[in-house]
Amino acid sequence: MAAAWFYHLTRSPVETTLATLLPKALGAGWQIAVRGTDRGRLERLDEVLWNGDGFLPHGLAGGPHDADQPVLLTTESAAPNGAACLFAVDGAEVGVEEAQGFERVCLLFEGADPEAVEAARGQWRRLTEAGVPAVYWSEESGTWAKKAESGPV
């Protein structure tokens, strides 16, 4: 069953949070799509993931091996790598029917950006009203803590 996990970023940037969460999702055996809204931003994220601590196998969409990538960075809604888990960053929208097609959808949003917070609230409402179980995580205290839950997760 699909579940949506919302990550309210107040201390760590998207890059740091992804570098922490992506290995956990890979450890669950999932193929992953990371959807953003800007190709240039994904190119910078690609560089950070290649040059960060440890090895995180991934690729930037548009290459000849997209279907083979364990983590595919993309601006498209299609996930040619057969992703079971979707990470939406930088305001990338996730529709209800689309969310229901994944095992897990993770929506990361910047807490310092009022528009991003409001957009995340709207996504929470749409998904939970459609019956998608959701969890809200906050790092406000310095560590990730579950702050809200809707439905069985």
Tally of domains in the chain: 1
Amino acid 115: pLDDT: 95
Q: Which domain covers residue 69, as residue numbers?
A: 3-150
What's the predicted TM-score (pTM) here? 0.94
CATH of the domain at 83: 3.40.50.10110
Tell me the pLDDT band of 120, cut-offs 50, 70 and 90: very high
**Using one digit for the tens of pLDDT, what is the confidence trace for 61-105?**
998 999 999 999 999 998 899 999 999 999 999 999 999 999 999
**Using one digit for the tens of pLDDT, what is the confidence trace for 33-54?**
999 999 999 999 998 888 877 7
Cα–Cα dist 51/70, whole Å: 17
Cα–Cα dist 97/118, whole Å: 21
User: How deeply is 113 buried, as exposed, middle or buried, from its count of CB atoms within 10 A (0-12, 13-18, 19+)?
Assistant: middle
Neighbours of 118 (CB within 10 A): 11
Tell me the pLDDT band of 153, cut-offs 50, 70 and 90: low
**Using one digit for the tens of pLDDT, what is the confidence trace for 91-100?**
999 999 999 9
